[in-house]
Amino acid sequence: MDDLYRELIIERNRSPHFRGELEPNDYTFQDENPLCGDNIRIDVRTDDAGFITEAAFSGHGCAISQASSDLLIESVIGKSVEDVKKMTKEDVLDLLGIELGPVRLKCALLPLKVIKAGLYGMGEATDTL
């Protein structure tokens, strides 16, 4: 129990560093987890070389999806769009530092799904990360 809700997750859920919306932006995407109704939008700004300069998330969800969003955004700022497109499930789990069962995994991975769909310019997010 102390594992799943470790201090970092509780703290980032309570006071996220990257909550908000960016208008205008270069990439934006929004999606939800139909199982629980969690809804996340991520806005991204990039420079001319294709590096992410700013990003923010909005929407609502459980502590895991909120903390995961915040930590993911922290980790992508300064990265190139192409590198972020290559991020995997393991990268997100490393950021969170926890192990998750199949149901909560969906919560944790929703922000990655959303940011990748935005960067790929997809009509719809997919589960294949």
Partner 1 sequence: MKDCKQFTGDFDTLKAEFPTLWRKVSSGADLVYLDSAATSQKPDCVLQAMDEYYRLSNANIHRGIHTLAEEATAAYENARKRIAAFIGAASSKEVVFTRNATEAINLIAYSWGRKNLNAGDIVVLSEMEHHANLVPWQILAEERDIRLEFIPVTAEGLLDMESYQEILALEPKLVSFTHMSNVLGTINPAKEIISQAKAAGAVTLLDAAQSLPHFPVDVADLDADFLAFSGHKMCGPTGVGVLYGREALLRDMPPFLGGGDMIRKVYLRSFVSNELPYKFEAGTGAIAEVIGLGAAVDFLSGIGMDNVDAHGREITQYAMQVLDELPWLHILGPGADKRGGVVAFTLDGVHPHDVAQILDWDGVAVRAGHHCAMPLHERFSVPATTRASFYIYNSHNDVDVLVESLRKVKKMLG
Q: Which spans of this chain sit near partner 1 (rule: CB under 8 A)? A: 1, 4-5, 10, 13-14, 35-39, 60-64, 66, 104, 107
Which H helix or E strand runs over 109? Answer: helix 102-120
Q: What is the nearest approach in angstroms of partner 1 to the Cβ of residue 64?
A: 7
Shortest separation between residue 53's beta carbon and partner 1, angstroms: 30
In terms of CB distance, is 69 or 84 closer to partner 1? 69
- Please say which residue, 14 or 17, places its beta carbon nearer to partner 1: 14
